[in-house]
Structure 1
Amino acid sequence: MSSRTSSVDGTSLRRVVGASAAVVAAVQAGTAVVALRRGRRDYADAAWGPGLAAVAVTSAALGSGDPWRRWALAGVTTAWAVRLERLMLGRVHGTDEEDERYTEFLDGDGTAAVVAKVFVTQGLAQLAVSAPLQLAAASTLPRTPRRWLFPAGMAVMVAGAVVEAAADRQKARFMERDRDERPDVLDTGLWGLSRHPNYLGDSVVWDGAWVAAAASAPGAWTFPAPVAMSYFLVFATGAKRTERRMEDRPAYRDYQRRVPFFLPLPRRSGGSAQAGDEG
Protein backbone atom coordinates (compact mmCIF):
# COMPACT_ATOMS: atom_id res chain seq x y z
CA MET A 1 0.00 0.00 0.00
CA SER A 2 1.34 3.43 -0.89
CA SER A 3 2.41 5.59 2.03
CA ARG A 4 0.26 8.34 0.52
CA THR A 5 -2.95 6.35 0.97
CA SER A 6 -4.67 5.32 4.15
CA SER A 7 -2.93 2.47 5.93
CA VAL A 8 -6.07 1.56 7.89
CA ASP A 9 -8.23 -1.42 6.95
CA GLY A 10 -11.71 -0.02 7.59
CA THR A 11 -13.38 -3.40 7.91
CA SER A 12 -10.76 -4.59 10.35
CA LEU A 13 -11.00 -1.41 12.39
CA ARG A 14 -14.78 -1.72 12.71
CA ARG A 15 -14.37 -5.32 13.82
CA VAL A 16 -11.72 -4.37 16.39
CA VAL A 17 -13.70 -1.43 17.77
CA GLY A 18 -16.91 -3.43 18.02
CA ALA A 19 -15.23 -6.35 19.77
CA SER A 20 -13.33 -4.02 22.09
CA ALA A 21 -16.57 -2.33 23.12
CA ALA A 22 -18.15 -5.73 23.83
CA VAL A 23 -15.18 -6.90 25.90
CA VAL A 24 -15.08 -3.71 27.94
CA ALA A 25 -18.84 -3.91 28.53
CA ALA A 26 -18.46 -7.47 29.79
CA VAL A 27 -15.59 -6.57 32.13
CA GLN A 28 -17.44 -3.60 33.58
CA ALA A 29 -20.76 -5.43 33.90
CA GLY A 30 -19.14 -8.36 35.71
CA THR A 31 -17.26 -6.05 38.04
CA ALA A 32 -20.38 -3.99 38.74
CA VAL A 33 -22.37 -7.07 39.74
CA VAL A 34 -19.71 -8.22 42.22
CA ALA A 35 -19.06 -4.70 43.53
CA LEU A 36 -22.72 -3.90 44.16
CA ARG A 37 -23.43 -7.22 45.81
CA ARG A 38 -20.54 -6.78 48.23
CA GLY A 39 -21.05 -3.07 48.80
CA ARG A 40 -17.53 -2.34 47.57
CA ARG A 41 -17.84 0.04 44.65
CA ASP A 42 -14.08 0.57 44.80
CA TYR A 43 -13.75 -2.84 43.12
CA ALA A 44 -13.93 -0.74 39.97
CA ASP A 45 -10.23 0.03 40.46
CA ALA A 46 -9.44 -3.65 39.91
CA ALA A 47 -11.18 -3.61 36.52
CA TRP A 48 -9.02 -0.88 34.99
CA GLY A 49 -5.96 -2.91 34.04
CA PRO A 50 -7.80 -6.07 32.94
CA GLY A 51 -10.13 -4.05 30.74
CA LEU A 52 -7.28 -2.40 28.88
CA ALA A 53 -5.40 -5.68 28.55
CA ALA A 54 -8.55 -7.32 27.18
CA VAL A 55 -8.86 -4.61 24.54
CA ALA A 56 -5.18 -4.98 23.60
CA VAL A 57 -5.41 -8.76 23.19
CA THR A 58 -8.77 -8.59 21.40
CA SER A 59 -7.41 -5.99 19.00
CA ALA A 60 -4.30 -8.06 18.30
CA ALA A 61 -6.35 -11.19 17.68
CA LEU A 62 -8.94 -9.62 15.38
CA GLY A 63 -6.90 -6.91 13.66
CA SER A 64 -5.34 -7.25 10.23
CA GLY A 65 -2.55 -4.72 10.77
CA ASP A 66 1.15 -5.34 11.20
CA PRO A 67 1.35 -8.47 13.42
CA TRP A 68 4.59 -7.50 15.16
CA ARG A 69 3.17 -4.21 16.32
CA ARG A 70 -0.27 -5.40 17.37
CA TRP A 71 1.09 -8.31 19.39
CA ALA A 72 3.93 -6.26 20.87
CA LEU A 73 1.40 -3.70 22.07
CA ALA A 74 -0.78 -6.47 23.44
CA GLY A 75 2.16 -8.07 25.24
CA VAL A 76 3.43 -4.93 26.94
CA THR A 77 -0.09 -3.78 27.84
CA THR A 78 -0.89 -7.15 29.37
CA ALA A 79 2.35 -7.23 31.38
CA TRP A 80 1.60 -3.70 32.63
CA ALA A 81 -1.95 -4.72 33.53
CA VAL A 82 -0.93 -7.89 35.39
CA ARG A 83 1.42 -5.96 37.67
CA LEU A 84 -1.16 -3.24 38.26
CA GLU A 85 -3.85 -5.82 38.98
CA ARG A 86 -1.75 -7.46 41.66
CA LEU A 87 -1.33 -4.07 43.29
CA MET A 88 -5.04 -3.22 43.06
CA LEU A 89 -6.18 -6.59 44.40
CA GLY A 90 -3.83 -6.21 47.33
CA ARG A 91 -5.42 -2.87 48.14
CA VAL A 92 -9.07 -3.92 47.86
CA HIS A 93 -8.55 -7.16 49.77
CA GLY A 94 -6.38 -5.51 52.39
CA THR A 95 -9.35 -3.82 54.06
CA ASP A 96 -13.06 -4.36 54.62
CA GLU A 97 -13.71 -0.66 54.18
CA GLU A 98 -14.56 0.94 50.86
CA ASP A 99 -12.09 3.49 49.55
CA GLU A 100 -13.23 6.87 50.89
CA ARG A 101 -12.95 8.40 47.44
CA TYR A 102 -15.87 6.25 46.27
CA THR A 103 -17.85 6.74 49.47
CA GLU A 104 -17.64 10.52 49.14
CA PHE A 105 -18.18 10.61 45.39
CA LEU A 106 -21.24 8.32 45.47
CA ASP A 107 -22.83 9.51 48.70
CA GLY A 108 -26.60 9.07 48.42
CA ASP A 109 -26.55 7.61 44.90
CA GLY A 110 -28.75 4.68 43.92
CA THR A 111 -27.74 1.67 41.86
CA ALA A 112 -28.40 3.25 38.47
CA ALA A 113 -26.38 6.35 39.33
CA VAL A 114 -23.47 4.25 40.63
CA VAL A 115 -23.41 2.13 37.49
CA ALA A 116 -23.45 5.22 35.28
CA LYS A 117 -20.95 7.29 37.26
CA VAL A 118 -18.45 4.51 37.91
CA PHE A 119 -18.71 1.55 35.58
CA VAL A 120 -20.11 3.13 32.41
CA THR A 121 -17.75 6.08 32.76
CA GLN A 122 -14.76 3.81 33.32
CA GLY A 123 -15.69 1.66 30.34
CA LEU A 124 -15.86 4.69 28.07
CA ALA A 125 -12.51 5.86 29.45
CA GLN A 126 -10.96 2.47 28.67
CA LEU A 127 -12.17 2.62 25.09
CA ALA A 128 -10.86 6.17 24.70
CA VAL A 129 -7.43 5.47 26.22
CA SER A 130 -6.98 2.30 24.17
CA ALA A 131 -7.79 4.02 20.84
CA PRO A 132 -4.13 3.87 19.69
CA LEU A 133 -4.06 0.10 20.31
CA GLN A 134 -7.24 -0.42 18.33
CA LEU A 135 -6.16 1.69 15.37
CA ALA A 136 -2.66 0.19 15.30
CA ALA A 137 -4.17 -3.30 15.17
CA ALA A 138 -5.96 -2.42 11.95
CA SER A 139 -3.12 -0.49 10.31
CA THR A 140 -0.08 -1.39 8.24
CA LEU A 141 3.37 0.09 8.80
CA PRO A 142 4.72 2.46 6.13
CA ARG A 143 7.91 1.76 4.17
CA THR A 144 9.39 5.04 5.33
CA PRO A 145 11.54 6.12 8.29
CA ARG A 146 8.27 6.81 10.09
CA ARG A 147 8.00 3.07 10.79
CA TRP A 148 10.74 3.51 13.42
CA LEU A 149 8.18 5.21 15.64
CA PHE A 150 6.93 1.69 16.37
CA PRO A 151 10.07 0.43 18.19
CA ALA A 152 10.58 3.88 19.69
CA GLY A 153 7.08 3.82 21.13
CA MET A 154 7.55 0.33 22.51
CA ALA A 155 10.75 1.44 24.24
CA VAL A 156 8.88 4.37 25.79
CA MET A 157 6.12 2.04 27.00
CA VAL A 158 8.60 -0.30 28.66
CA ALA A 159 10.47 2.61 30.25
CA GLY A 160 7.24 4.00 31.67
CA ALA A 161 6.23 0.61 33.03
CA VAL A 162 9.61 0.18 34.72
CA VAL A 163 9.39 3.64 36.34
CA GLU A 164 5.86 2.97 37.56
CA ALA A 165 6.77 -0.44 39.00
CA ALA A 166 9.92 0.88 40.67
CA ALA A 167 8.04 3.79 42.23
CA ASP A 168 5.32 1.51 43.58
CA ARG A 169 7.93 -0.83 45.00
CA GLN A 170 9.78 2.00 46.70
CA LYS A 171 6.53 3.20 48.26
CA ALA A 172 5.64 -0.33 49.40
CA ARG A 173 9.01 -0.69 51.14
CA PHE A 174 8.51 2.68 52.79
CA MET A 175 5.08 1.67 54.08
CA GLU A 176 6.44 -1.65 55.39
CA ARG A 177 8.72 0.15 57.82
CA ASP A 178 7.67 0.50 61.45
CA ARG A 179 5.63 3.63 61.92
CA ASP A 180 7.93 4.88 64.67
CA GLU A 181 10.95 4.57 62.37
CA ARG A 182 9.27 5.75 59.18
CA PRO A 183 9.86 9.37 58.12
CA ASP A 184 6.85 11.60 57.51
CA VAL A 185 7.15 11.56 53.74
CA LEU A 186 9.02 9.55 51.12
CA ASP A 187 11.44 11.78 49.24
CA THR A 188 14.14 9.28 48.30
CA GLY A 189 14.65 7.39 45.04
CA LEU A 190 12.15 8.30 42.33
CA TRP A 191 10.05 10.11 44.94
CA GLY A 192 12.86 12.64 45.24
CA LEU A 193 12.52 13.51 41.55
CA SER A 194 8.74 13.71 41.31
CA ARG A 195 6.01 13.72 43.94
CA HIS A 196 4.04 11.24 41.83
CA PRO A 197 6.52 9.06 39.90
CA ASN A 198 4.09 6.12 39.77
CA TYR A 199 1.49 8.21 37.98
CA LEU A 200 4.20 9.72 35.78
CA GLY A 201 5.37 6.25 34.72
CA ASP A 202 1.80 5.21 33.99
CA SER A 203 1.32 8.28 31.82
CA VAL A 204 4.52 7.52 29.89
CA VAL A 205 3.28 3.98 29.15
CA TRP A 206 0.33 5.39 27.24
CA ASP A 207 2.40 8.09 25.59
CA GLY A 208 4.51 5.24 24.22
CA ALA A 209 1.45 3.38 22.94
CA TRP A 210 0.47 6.48 21.03
CA VAL A 211 3.95 6.90 19.55
CA ALA A 212 3.91 3.26 18.40
CA ALA A 213 0.50 3.75 16.79
CA ALA A 214 1.63 7.00 15.15
CA ALA A 215 4.09 5.01 13.03
CA SER A 216 1.05 4.71 10.77
CA ALA A 217 0.00 8.26 9.90
CA PRO A 218 -3.68 7.89 10.95
CA GLY A 219 -2.51 6.74 14.38
CA ALA A 220 -1.23 10.23 15.14
CA TRP A 221 -4.85 11.40 15.27
CA THR A 222 -5.41 9.35 18.42
CA PHE A 223 -3.38 11.88 20.44
CA PRO A 224 -6.43 12.70 22.64
CA ALA A 225 -5.99 9.21 24.15
CA PRO A 226 -2.68 9.84 26.00
CA VAL A 227 -3.89 13.34 26.85
CA ALA A 228 -6.99 11.84 28.45
CA MET A 229 -4.91 9.31 30.37
CA SER A 230 -2.65 12.05 31.73
CA TYR A 231 -5.73 14.04 32.73
CA PHE A 232 -7.16 11.05 34.61
CA LEU A 233 -3.87 10.43 36.39
CA VAL A 234 -3.25 14.04 37.35
CA PHE A 235 -6.68 15.58 37.90
CA ALA A 236 -9.49 13.03 37.95
CA THR A 237 -8.37 10.15 40.15
CA GLY A 238 -4.69 10.50 40.97
CA ALA A 239 -2.13 13.11 41.83
CA LYS A 240 -4.31 16.11 42.68
CA ARG A 241 -6.50 14.03 44.98
CA THR A 242 -3.41 12.81 46.81
CA GLU A 243 -2.14 16.37 47.14
CA ARG A 244 -5.40 17.55 48.70
CA ARG A 245 -5.38 14.66 51.16
CA MET A 246 -1.76 15.22 52.22
CA GLU A 247 -1.27 18.97 52.08
CA ASP A 248 -2.46 19.59 55.65
CA ARG A 249 0.70 17.85 56.92
CA PRO A 250 3.63 20.25 57.53
CA ALA A 251 6.17 17.66 56.32
CA TYR A 252 4.27 17.23 53.07
CA ARG A 253 4.06 20.98 52.50
CA ASP A 254 7.84 21.06 52.86
CA TYR A 255 8.03 18.18 50.38
CA GLN A 256 5.89 20.18 47.95
CA ARG A 257 8.33 23.08 48.14
CA ARG A 258 11.33 20.88 47.43
CA VAL A 259 10.21 18.29 44.87
CA PRO A 260 8.44 18.92 41.53
CA PHE A 261 4.80 17.93 41.27
CA PHE A 262 4.92 15.62 38.23
CA LEU A 263 7.72 16.05 35.71
CA PRO A 264 11.23 15.45 37.16
CA LEU A 265 12.50 18.99 36.87
CA PRO A 266 15.62 20.15 38.77
CA ARG A 267 15.19 19.68 42.50
CA ARG A 268 14.49 22.82 44.47
CA SER A 269 16.70 23.84 47.35
CA GLY A 270 15.54 24.62 50.86
CA GLY A 271 13.68 22.70 53.52
CA SER A 272 14.72 19.64 55.44
CA ALA A 273 15.18 16.27 53.74
CA GLN A 274 12.41 14.26 55.35
CA ALA A 275 11.10 11.20 53.48
CA GLY A 276 7.15 10.35 50.82
CA ASP A 277 3.89 10.47 49.36
CA GLU A 278 1.65 7.86 50.90
CA GLY A 279 -0.99 8.30 48.20
Structure 2
Amino acid sequence: MDPSYFTQVGKSLVSTLLADIGVQVIGWSISTFLQTEKFYDLAGSISFILCTFVSLYKPWEENTIWADSRSMTTLLRSIHPRQIIASGTTVVWAVYLGSFLFSRALKHGDKRFDKIKKVPGRFLVYWVVQGIWVALTALPVYISNSIPASVHPDLGLQDYIGIVLWGSGFAFEVIANYQKQKWRKEIGRDYKRSFISSGLWSLSRHPNYFGECLLWFGSYLFCSSAFYAALESPNLIMSHWMSRLAVFSPMFVTILITRVSGIPLLERENDRRLKDVVAYWKYKKATSMFVPTLPRQNVE
Protein backbone atom coordinates (compact mmCIF):
# COMPACT_ATOMS: atom_id res chain seq x y z
CA MET A 1 0.00 0.00 0.00
CA ASP A 2 1.11 3.57 -0.76
CA PRO A 3 3.08 4.80 2.31
CA SER A 4 1.48 8.24 1.91
CA TYR A 5 -1.63 6.79 3.48
CA PHE A 6 0.32 6.30 6.73
CA THR A 7 1.36 9.92 7.14
CA GLN A 8 0.52 11.69 10.39
CA VAL A 9 -2.32 13.53 8.68
CA GLY A 10 -3.55 10.34 7.03
CA LYS A 11 -3.79 8.50 10.35
CA SER A 12 -5.62 11.41 11.94
CA LEU A 13 -8.11 11.59 9.06
CA VAL A 14 -8.98 7.92 9.54
CA SER A 15 -10.07 8.66 13.12
CA THR A 16 -12.00 11.70 11.94
CA LEU A 17 -13.77 9.70 9.25
CA LEU A 18 -14.70 6.97 11.75
CA ALA A 19 -16.24 9.59 14.05
CA ASP A 20 -18.28 10.90 11.13
CA ILE A 21 -19.49 7.42 10.20
CA GLY A 22 -20.34 6.65 13.82
CA VAL A 23 -22.63 9.67 14.16
CA GLN A 24 -24.43 8.86 10.91
CA VAL A 25 -25.01 5.22 11.88
CA ILE A 26 -26.34 6.17 15.31
CA GLY A 27 -28.51 8.95 13.87
CA TRP A 28 -29.91 6.68 11.18
CA SER A 29 -30.64 3.90 13.70
CA ILE A 30 -32.54 6.18 16.07
CA SER A 31 -34.39 8.00 13.30
CA THR A 32 -35.37 4.74 11.59
CA PHE A 33 -36.69 3.31 14.85
CA LEU A 34 -38.73 6.47 15.51
CA GLN A 35 -39.56 6.96 11.81
CA THR A 36 -38.64 10.62 11.99
CA GLU A 37 -36.44 12.98 9.98
CA LYS A 38 -36.21 15.62 12.71
CA PHE A 39 -32.72 14.59 13.87
CA TYR A 40 -31.15 14.50 10.41
CA ASP A 41 -29.74 18.02 10.24
CA LEU A 42 -28.90 18.00 13.94
CA ALA A 43 -26.79 14.86 13.46
CA GLY A 44 -24.98 16.59 10.61
CA SER A 45 -23.99 19.49 12.83
CA ILE A 46 -22.93 17.15 15.63
CA SER A 47 -20.73 15.33 13.11
CA PHE A 48 -18.98 18.56 12.14
CA ILE A 49 -18.30 19.44 15.77
CA LEU A 50 -17.11 15.96 16.76
CA CYS A 51 -14.90 15.59 13.68
CA THR A 52 -13.34 19.00 14.33
CA PHE A 53 -12.27 17.99 17.82
CA VAL A 54 -11.20 14.48 16.80
CA SER A 55 -8.97 15.96 14.09
CA LEU A 56 -7.02 17.83 16.77
CA TYR A 57 -6.05 14.56 18.43
CA LYS A 58 -2.40 13.83 17.62
CA PRO A 59 -1.12 10.94 19.75
CA TRP A 60 2.34 11.10 18.14
CA GLU A 61 3.02 14.47 19.80
CA GLU A 62 4.54 14.11 23.24
CA ASN A 63 3.34 17.51 24.43
CA THR A 64 -0.20 17.25 23.17
CA ILE A 65 -2.99 17.97 25.64
CA TRP A 66 -4.23 14.41 25.25
CA ALA A 67 -0.93 13.06 26.56
CA ASP A 68 -0.54 15.61 29.33
CA SER A 69 -3.67 17.32 30.58
CA ARG A 70 -2.11 18.96 33.61
CA SER A 71 -2.46 22.59 32.51
CA MET A 72 -4.08 25.00 30.08
CA THR A 73 -0.57 26.01 29.00
CA THR A 74 -0.07 22.51 27.62
CA LEU A 75 -3.26 22.86 25.60
CA LEU A 76 -2.29 26.23 24.14
CA ARG A 77 1.18 24.93 23.32
CA SER A 78 -0.22 22.01 21.36
CA ILE A 79 -2.66 24.02 19.18
CA HIS A 80 -1.63 26.68 16.66
CA PRO A 81 -3.68 29.93 16.34
CA ARG A 82 -4.66 28.84 12.83
CA GLN A 83 -6.10 25.63 14.24
CA ILE A 84 -8.00 27.57 16.90
CA ILE A 85 -9.50 29.86 14.25
CA ALA A 86 -10.32 26.99 11.87
CA SER A 87 -11.90 24.91 14.62
CA GLY A 88 -13.69 27.81 16.27
CA THR A 89 -15.29 29.08 13.08
CA THR A 90 -16.37 25.57 12.11
CA VAL A 91 -17.96 24.92 15.49
CA VAL A 92 -19.70 28.32 15.52
CA TRP A 93 -21.12 27.67 12.05
CA ALA A 94 -22.19 24.10 12.96
CA VAL A 95 -23.91 25.22 16.17
CA TYR A 96 -25.73 28.02 14.35
CA LEU A 97 -26.83 25.95 11.36
CA GLY A 98 -27.70 22.92 13.47
CA SER A 99 -29.90 24.89 15.86
CA PHE A 100 -31.52 26.79 12.98
CA LEU A 101 -32.34 23.67 10.93
CA PHE A 102 -33.34 21.58 13.97
CA SER A 103 -35.75 24.29 15.11
CA ARG A 104 -37.22 24.47 11.61
CA ALA A 105 -37.54 20.68 11.42
CA LEU A 106 -39.40 20.58 14.73
CA LYS A 107 -41.88 23.18 13.49
CA HIS A 108 -42.33 22.24 9.84
CA GLY A 109 -40.70 18.84 9.30
CA ASP A 110 -38.89 18.06 6.04
CA LYS A 111 -40.90 16.99 3.01
CA ARG A 112 -37.87 15.26 1.47
CA PHE A 113 -38.28 12.40 3.93
CA ASP A 114 -42.08 11.97 3.95
CA LYS A 115 -41.94 8.68 2.06
CA ILE A 116 -38.45 7.32 2.58
CA LYS A 117 -38.18 7.64 6.38
CA LYS A 118 -40.27 4.48 6.65
CA VAL A 119 -37.97 2.56 4.30
CA PRO A 120 -34.69 1.93 6.20
CA GLY A 121 -32.58 1.12 3.14
CA ARG A 122 -33.54 4.21 1.18
CA PHE A 123 -33.36 6.35 4.32
CA LEU A 124 -29.79 5.14 4.88
CA VAL A 125 -28.71 6.59 1.52
CA TYR A 126 -29.44 10.09 2.79
CA TRP A 127 -27.34 9.49 5.91
CA VAL A 128 -24.46 8.20 3.78
CA VAL A 129 -24.66 11.33 1.63
CA GLN A 130 -24.64 13.47 4.76
CA GLY A 131 -21.54 11.66 5.98
CA ILE A 132 -19.77 12.41 2.68
CA TRP A 133 -20.89 16.04 2.95
CA VAL A 134 -19.44 16.35 6.47
CA ALA A 135 -16.17 14.71 5.42
CA LEU A 136 -15.55 16.80 2.30
CA THR A 137 -16.95 20.17 3.34
CA ALA A 138 -14.64 20.75 6.32
CA LEU A 139 -11.75 18.63 5.00
CA PRO A 140 -9.31 21.61 4.96
CA VAL A 141 -10.08 22.15 8.66
CA TYR A 142 -9.51 18.49 9.52
CA ILE A 143 -6.22 18.47 7.62
CA SER A 144 -5.01 21.72 9.18
CA ASN A 145 -5.86 20.41 12.64
CA SER A 146 -3.98 17.18 11.94
CA ILE A 147 -0.73 18.98 11.11
CA PRO A 148 1.52 19.47 14.18
CA ALA A 149 1.39 23.00 15.54
CA SER A 150 5.18 23.27 15.25
CA VAL A 151 4.92 22.92 11.45
CA HIS A 152 2.30 25.65 11.00
CA PRO A 153 3.67 28.96 9.67
CA ASP A 154 2.75 32.23 11.37
CA LEU A 155 -0.52 33.85 10.37
CA GLY A 156 -0.11 35.97 7.25
CA LEU A 157 -2.03 37.94 4.64
CA GLN A 158 -3.62 34.83 3.13
CA ASP A 159 -5.01 33.86 6.53
CA TYR A 160 -6.47 37.30 7.16
CA ILE A 161 -8.13 37.37 3.74
CA GLY A 162 -9.60 33.94 4.51
CA ILE A 163 -10.94 35.14 7.87
CA VAL A 164 -12.58 38.17 6.21
CA LEU A 165 -14.19 35.96 3.57
CA TRP A 166 -15.43 33.54 6.21
CA GLY A 167 -16.85 36.35 8.33
CA SER A 168 -18.54 37.97 5.34
CA GLY A 169 -20.06 34.66 4.24
CA PHE A 170 -21.29 33.80 7.72
CA ALA A 171 -22.84 37.26 8.12
CA PHE A 172 -24.59 36.89 4.76
CA GLU A 173 -26.00 33.50 5.74
CA VAL A 174 -27.19 34.57 9.19
CA ILE A 175 -28.74 37.87 8.05
CA ALA A 176 -30.45 36.27 5.05
CA ASN A 177 -31.95 33.51 7.17
CA TYR A 178 -33.11 36.04 9.78
CA GLN A 179 -34.73 38.23 7.13
CA LYS A 180 -36.58 35.28 5.63
CA GLN A 181 -37.75 34.04 9.04
CA LYS A 182 -39.04 37.52 9.88
CA TRP A 183 -40.77 37.83 6.51
CA ARG A 184 -42.38 34.43 6.80
CA LYS A 185 -43.68 35.25 10.29
CA GLU A 186 -45.14 38.55 9.09
CA ILE A 187 -46.69 37.13 5.92
CA GLY A 188 -48.38 34.29 7.81
CA ARG A 189 -50.83 32.20 5.80
CA ASP A 190 -50.11 34.13 2.62
CA TYR A 191 -46.71 32.44 2.43
CA LYS A 192 -47.73 30.06 -0.35
CA ARG A 193 -48.65 32.92 -2.68
CA SER A 194 -45.81 35.26 -1.72
CA PHE A 195 -42.03 35.49 -1.87
CA ILE A 196 -39.35 37.56 -0.16
CA SER A 197 -37.67 40.23 -2.27
CA SER A 198 -36.37 42.69 0.32
CA GLY A 199 -33.05 43.08 2.13
CA LEU A 200 -30.34 40.74 0.90
CA TRP A 201 -33.00 38.91 -1.08
CA SER A 202 -33.23 41.93 -3.38
CA LEU A 203 -29.61 41.31 -4.39
CA SER A 204 -29.77 37.54 -4.79
CA ARG A 205 -32.52 34.94 -4.91
CA HIS A 206 -30.44 32.75 -2.59
CA PRO A 207 -28.18 35.00 -0.47
CA ASN A 208 -27.99 32.46 2.35
CA TYR A 209 -26.48 29.88 0.00
CA PHE A 210 -24.05 32.45 -1.38
CA GLY A 211 -22.88 33.12 2.17
CA GLU A 212 -22.51 29.39 2.81
CA CYS A 213 -20.22 28.92 -0.19
CA LEU A 214 -18.22 32.07 0.54
CA LEU A 215 -17.43 31.07 4.12
CA TRP A 216 -16.07 27.68 3.04
CA PHE A 217 -13.82 29.31 0.45
CA GLY A 218 -12.55 31.52 3.25
CA SER A 219 -12.03 28.51 5.50
CA TYR A 220 -9.98 26.74 2.83
CA LEU A 221 -7.88 29.86 2.28
CA PHE A 222 -6.68 30.20 5.86
CA CYS A 223 -6.30 26.45 6.38
CA SER A 224 -4.24 25.88 3.24
CA SER A 225 -1.33 28.03 4.47
CA ALA A 226 -0.31 25.08 6.63
CA PHE A 227 -0.49 22.59 3.76
CA TYR A 228 2.51 24.06 1.94
CA ALA A 229 4.63 23.98 5.09
CA ALA A 230 3.64 20.36 5.79
CA LEU A 231 4.46 19.27 2.24
CA GLU A 232 7.90 20.88 2.47
CA SER A 233 8.68 19.26 5.81
CA PRO A 234 11.37 16.53 5.71
CA ASN A 235 9.10 14.32 7.82
CA LEU A 236 6.23 12.40 6.23
CA ILE A 237 3.45 14.63 7.56
CA MET A 238 1.04 14.67 4.63
CA SER A 239 0.97 13.69 0.97
CA HIS A 240 0.27 15.82 -2.08
CA TRP A 241 -2.97 14.02 -2.89
CA MET A 242 -4.46 15.20 0.41
CA SER A 243 -3.75 18.85 -0.37
CA ARG A 244 -5.25 18.40 -3.84
CA LEU A 245 -8.36 16.80 -2.37
CA ALA A 246 -8.72 19.73 0.05
CA VAL A 247 -8.89 22.13 -2.92
CA PHE A 248 -12.03 20.27 -3.99
CA SER A 249 -13.78 21.07 -0.70
CA PRO A 250 -15.17 24.59 -1.41
CA MET A 251 -15.81 23.58 -5.03
CA PHE A 252 -17.80 20.57 -3.80
CA VAL A 253 -19.95 22.78 -1.56
CA THR A 254 -20.61 25.24 -4.39
CA ILE A 255 -21.47 22.54 -6.93
CA LEU A 256 -23.71 20.75 -4.43
CA ILE A 257 -25.63 23.94 -3.60
CA THR A 258 -25.87 25.44 -7.08
CA ARG A 259 -26.28 22.31 -9.19
CA VAL A 260 -27.61 19.46 -7.07
CA SER A 261 -29.56 19.76 -3.83
CA GLY A 262 -29.88 23.39 -2.81
CA ILE A 263 -30.84 26.02 -5.36
CA PRO A 264 -32.25 23.70 -8.10
CA LEU A 265 -34.78 22.14 -5.69
CA LEU A 266 -35.91 25.51 -4.34
CA GLU A 267 -36.14 27.07 -7.78
CA ARG A 268 -38.36 24.23 -9.01
CA GLU A 269 -40.53 24.44 -5.91
CA ASN A 270 -40.91 28.23 -6.19
CA ASP A 271 -41.68 28.02 -9.92
CA ARG A 272 -44.42 25.50 -9.18
CA ARG A 273 -45.83 27.32 -6.17
CA LEU A 274 -45.78 30.79 -7.74
CA LYS A 275 -46.41 29.90 -11.38
CA ASP A 276 -49.37 32.32 -11.61
CA VAL A 277 -47.72 35.19 -9.69
CA VAL A 278 -46.52 37.74 -12.26
CA ALA A 279 -44.48 39.70 -9.69
CA TYR A 280 -42.43 36.58 -8.91
CA TRP A 281 -41.40 36.08 -12.53
CA LYS A 282 -40.40 39.75 -12.81
CA TYR A 283 -38.37 39.38 -9.60
CA LYS A 284 -36.73 36.23 -10.92
CA LYS A 285 -35.80 37.88 -14.19
CA ALA A 286 -34.41 41.01 -12.51
CA THR A 287 -32.52 39.36 -9.63
CA SER A 288 -29.30 37.34 -9.71
CA MET A 289 -29.78 33.70 -8.80
CA PHE A 290 -26.63 33.35 -6.67
CA VAL A 291 -23.96 36.08 -6.56
CA PRO A 292 -25.44 39.30 -5.08
CA THR A 293 -25.76 42.12 -7.61
CA LEU A 294 -27.95 45.18 -7.98
CA PRO A 295 -31.32 44.28 -9.54
CA ARG A 296 -31.64 44.79 -13.28
CA GLN A 297 -33.88 47.72 -14.13
CA ASN A 298 -36.75 47.98 -16.62
CA VAL A 299 -37.49 44.25 -16.64
CA GLU A 300 -40.82 43.34 -18.16
TM-score by structure 2 length?
0.77
Q: Tell me how large the CA RMSD over aligned residues is.
A: 2.8
1:224 aligns with 2:237: no
Give the distance between the partners of 1:119 and 1:211, measured in 2 at CA: 28
Asked if the contact 1:51/1:126 (under 8 Å) is kept, the reply is yes
Cα offset, 1:167, TM superposition:
0.5
1:223-269 Cα offsets, whole Å, 9 max, x none, are 11111111222222211110000013123222211110000133211
Asked if the contact 1:132/1:210 (under 8 Å) is kept, the reply is yes
The 5-angstrom pairing of residues 108-257 of structure 1 reads 110-115=119-124, 117-139=125-147, 140-142=151-153, 147-179=156-188, 184-216=194-226, 217=228, 221=244, 222-248=246-272, 249=274, 250=277, 251-257=279-285
Q: Any unmatched runs of 5+ in structure 2?
A: 62-77, 232-241
Cα offset, 1:271, TM superposition:
4.9
- Cα distance, 1:35–1:215 mapped onto 2, change above 3 Å: same
1:183-205 Cα offsets, whole Å, 9 max, x none, are 82211111111110111111111
2:296 counterpart SS class: coil
1:16 aligns with 2:12: yes
In structure 2, the partner of 1:79 is 92
One-letter code aligned to 2:83: R
One-letter code aligned to 1:161: F
One-letter code aligned to 1:114: F
Asked if the contact 1:185/1:255 (under 8 Å) is kept, the reply is no
2:289 counterpart SS class: coil
- Cα distance, 1:101–1:9 mapped onto 2, change above 3 Å: closer
Give the distance between the partners of 2:292 and 2:225, measured in 1 at CA: 27
Cα offset, 1:9, TM superposition:
12
In structure 1, the partner of 2:83 is 70
In structure 1, the partner of 2:101 is 88
TM-score by structure 1 length?
0.82
Give the distance between the partners of 2:46 and 2:209, measured in 1 at CA: 18
Asked if the contact 1:56/1:74 (under 8 Å) is kept, the reply is yes
Asked if the contact 2:5/2:11 (under 8 Å) is kept, the reply is no
Cα offset, 1:181, TM superposition:
7.8
Equivalent of 1:259 in 287, 291, 295: 287
One-letter code aligned to 2:261: T
1:118 counterpart SS class: helix
Cα offset, 1:93, TM superposition:
1.0
Give the distance between the partners of 1:130 and 1:51, measured in 2 at CA: 11
One-letter code aligned to 1:232: L
Larger radius of gyration: 2
Cα offset, 1:220, TM superposition:
5.6
Using the aligned pairs only, state the percent identity. Answer: 19
One-letter code aligned to 2:171: V
2:215 counterpart SS class: helix
One-letter code aligned to 1:24: D
